[in-house]
Amino acid sequence: MTVVASGGAITGLYFPHHWYMPSEASLGRRVDVHEDTLISQAATQLGEYLDGERTVFDLPTRTNGDAFQERVWAMLREIPFGATTTYGELAERLGNKALAQSVGQAVGHNPISIIVACHRVVGSNGKLTGFAGGLERKQRLLEIEEPQTVKEARLF
C-alpha cells in the first residue's frame, strides 16, 4: 500500500493497481516507513485493523475534493465499523436519491481508502460494486468488520 502524508495529515492511501492512483511525481519524496512518525503510525494502525485488532483510526487526515466530494467523504467517516450503507441512502441524505451515481463517483475517488471507509458502501441490493482498490479487497475488508454473530451463523 502507498500512504501519502502532507502537512501533518494523511492525504492518501492507495492499494497496488488502485484505479485512481496519483502520478508518482505528484506523491512527493518516498520515505521509509520508520523515518516518518505519521507514516509509521498509519502503518501500525492499518496493521492492527487488518489483523482485526482495531475498529477506529486515530490519525489526522485531510482531503482536497470539490464541495460535493467533501460532503460525501464526510458521510463516509460517519459509517460505523461493521456497518454498511448504500449509494442511494447516501444520496437520500444529500436530499436527492437521483444523486446515487454522483455519490458513487465521489466514493470511488476517495483518496484515503480504509481510513475513510468507502468499502462500507454497497449497491442497493447489497451487491459489492465500485471499489477503486478492487472488489476482492472490498470483500476482505467487509469480512474483517463482519460481526462475530454473523460469522458464527454461516455454515461455511
**Amino acid 25: pLDDT:** 84
Q: Is 118 a catalytic residue?
A: yes
**Amino acid 132: pLDDT:** 83
Integer Cα distance of 81 and 56 in angstroms: 7
> Which mean pLDDT values do the consecutive 10-residue runs of the chain (156 residues) have?
94 91 86 93 97 96 97 97 95 95 95 96 86 89 83 60
**Amino acid 130: pLDDT:** 77
Instruction: Give, as one character, the DSSP assignment of residue 122.
Output: E
Integer Cα distance of 120 and 126 in angstroms: 11
Model pTM score: 0.89
Contact present, 99 and 71 (Cβ < 8 Å): no
The pLDDT tens digits of the residues spanning 69-111 come to: 999 999 999 999 999 999 999 999 999 999 999 999 999 999 9
Domains and CATH numbers, the chain: 2-51 (no CATH), 67-151 (1.10.10.10)
**Residue 52, C-alpha cell as written in the block:** 482485526
Q: Give Cα separations from 153 to 26, 142, 150 (angstroms).
A: 46, 16, 5
Residue type (1 letter), 94: L
72, 100, 118, 122: which one is catalytic?
118
Cα atoms in the Cβ-side hemisphere of radius 13 Å centred on 100: 14
Residue 82: name the closest of 118, 54, 120 by CA: 120
**Amino acid 155: pLDDT:** 58
